[in-house]
């Protein structure tokens, strides 16, 4: 968890003076805020190609002999937008749904976006709280009033961070599998003229935008949340295509191109896919649309981890220890997982965290661990040699001789017959790795290896025979 989640008291310092925000409540942007026209629900068919995001685990709970992990099934992503006019102008949720549909994905959205609303107002807003409490959201997007995050730090710590923390906490309480996504907005076209005199850093677009980027980054990192860097995409477009108009006539809200940039950014953050193949939207110049998609590819897709996309996914890892003659002990070392699923490679499975498994016969088995959290999963595989390499089985060396043995360093293996070449080394744990040098005589280093009995596997160069030489490392 992030810093503010651990100690919210640091957010409550009081600023001596407050810049004012205009609330964006002018007649051009005022809208009715009734529940009926704030909720936008659209269902389409989905077949996503990102298995880590939507891989489903079936079979085990149903008593099937072999569970299955499926990818690409028709799964609906549910996204709740909490914000204000920066979200509802040009219908960002609807445009995102259109782009998702064009890519063969699906989206169900709802929104609570009264004009000029802040995190503080949303914290006690009945519609916002009701939507959050519905639960089962995959993502909840949080967008603060357009000026507030750029205000002096003391004021942001008092008026922004605490309410972002509270909203995120409510989201996680009612939606334990949801990811919070902070919507990083942009600096105004010519800076914040209304607060320039009292807070000079926001007098220019660059100054205001940099503060917004910093404060949204702080919230995302502090609350272990994803960041949708729409403002960073706008900055790229302003730098490389200054003639492109991203702003509406007020120099604050997004034009159609500006909303398209936001929609493409959200598409990439939510699906982790490239936006390059997305469709244009009616009324937007095709050249501008391509430039926007390319900018999102450059800023977002090519550096997803910079925006915390995937940073909180489960990571599968485990340790194994072979217990002669036919057992293996497994220890789950995965990060950020709620449950695990083991495939022992012999048609047997387990959901125990640290199982001990007995094989029916010797062999080389691929053991797979899948670490699972909600709809996310990660898997890893290790190979283990079980049985079949006992002392009694290494009887005919046919002139093959390795020394010194036992050793704590180098070993030299000679083969006067010239028949055998080294293939791999098998550790006491069952792990194995290929040898790097097949020359005769073979020399290998065991410096730094854990004490135990290692096995050198040799293969015949004139037939299909195999030889195993035990090396004791102390």
Structure tokens at 105: 């994905």
Query: What single string gives the DSSP state of each residue in 279-346?
Result: PP-TTS-HHHHHHHHHHHHHHTGGGGGGGTTTTTS-B--EEEEEETTTEEEEEE--BS-SEEEEE-SS
pLDDT tops 60 at residue 390: no
Residue 43: predicted pLDDT: 27
Question: What CA–CA distance (Å, rounded) separates 160 from 145?
Answer: 9
Residue 75: predicted pLDDT: 53
Question: What CA–CA distance (Å, rounded) separates 246 from 234?
Answer: 8
Residues 392-417 have a mean pLDDT of 71
Question: What CA–CA distance (Å, rounded) separates 177 from 239?
Answer: 38
Work out the mean pLDDT of the chain and round it to a whole number.
83
Structural domains for the chain: 3-307 (3.40.50.1110), 318-386 (2.60.40.10), 391-473 (2.60.40)
Confidence of residue 176 (pLDDT cuts 50, 70, 90): very high
- Greater confidence, 83 or 411? 83
Question: What CA–CA distance (Å, rounded) separates 342 from 368?
Answer: 6
Global pTM reads 0.70
Residues 25-49 have a mean pLDDT of 29
């Amino acid at each position: 968890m992030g810093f503010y989640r651990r100690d919210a008291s640091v957010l409550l310092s009081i600023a001596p003076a407050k810049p004012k925000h205009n609330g964006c409540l002018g007649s051009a942007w005022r809208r009715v805020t009734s529940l009926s026209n704030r909720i936008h629900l659209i269902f389409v068919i989905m077949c996503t190609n990102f298995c880590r995001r939507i891989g489903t685990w079936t079979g085990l709970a149903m008593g099937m002999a072999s569970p299955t992990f499926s990818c690409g099934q028709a799964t609906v992503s549910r996204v709740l937008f909490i914000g204000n006019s920066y979200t509802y102008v040009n219908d960002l949720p609807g445009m995102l749904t259109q782009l998702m549909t064009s890519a063969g994905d699906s989206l169900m959205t709802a929104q609570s976006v009264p004009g000029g609303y802040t995190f503080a107002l949303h914290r006690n807003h009945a519609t916002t709280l009701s939507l959050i409490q519905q639960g089962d959201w995959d993502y909840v997007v949080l967008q603060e009033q357009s000026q507030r995050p750029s205000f002096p730090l003391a004021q942001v710590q008092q008026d922004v961070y605490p309410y972002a923390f509270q909203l995120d906490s409510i989201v996680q309480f009612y939606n334990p599998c949801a990811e919070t996504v902070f919507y990083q907005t942009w600096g105004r076209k010519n800076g914040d003229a209304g607060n320039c005199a009292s807070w000079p850093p926001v007098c220019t677009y660059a100054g205001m935008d940099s503060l917004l980027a910093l404060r949204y980054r702080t919230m995302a990192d502090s609350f272990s949340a994803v960041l949708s860097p729409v403002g960073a995409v706008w900055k790229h477009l302003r730098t490389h295509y200054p003639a492109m108009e991203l702003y509406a006539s007020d120099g604050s809200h997004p034009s159609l191109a500006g909303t398209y940039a936001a929609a493409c950014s959200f598409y990439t953050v939510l699906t982790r896919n490239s936006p390059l193949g997305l469709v244009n939207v009616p009324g937007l110049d095709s050249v501008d649309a391509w430039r926007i998609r390319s900018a999102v590819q450059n800023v977002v897709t090519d550096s997803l981890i910079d925006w915390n996309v995937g940073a909180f996914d489960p990571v599968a890892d485990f340790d194994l220890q072979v217990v002669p003659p036919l057992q293996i002990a497994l220890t789950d070392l995965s990060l950020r997982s709620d449950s695990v699923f083991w495939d022992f490679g012999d048609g047997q499975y387990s959901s125990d965290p640290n199982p001990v498994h007995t094989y029916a016969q010797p062999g080389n088995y691929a053991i797979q661990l899948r670490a699972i959290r909600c709809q996310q999963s990660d898997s890893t595989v290790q190979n283990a040699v079980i049985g079949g390499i006992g002392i009694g089985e290494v009887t005919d060396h046919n002139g093959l001789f390795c020394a010194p043995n036992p050793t704590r360093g180098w070993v030299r293996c000679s083969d006067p017959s010239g028949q055998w070449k080294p293939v791999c080394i098998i550790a006491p744990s069952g792990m194995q790795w290929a040898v790097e040098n097949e020359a005769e005589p073979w020399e290998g280093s065991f410096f730094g290896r854990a004490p135990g009995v290692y096995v050198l596997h040799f293969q015949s160069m004139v037939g299909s025979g195999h030889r195993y030489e035990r090396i004791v490392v102390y």
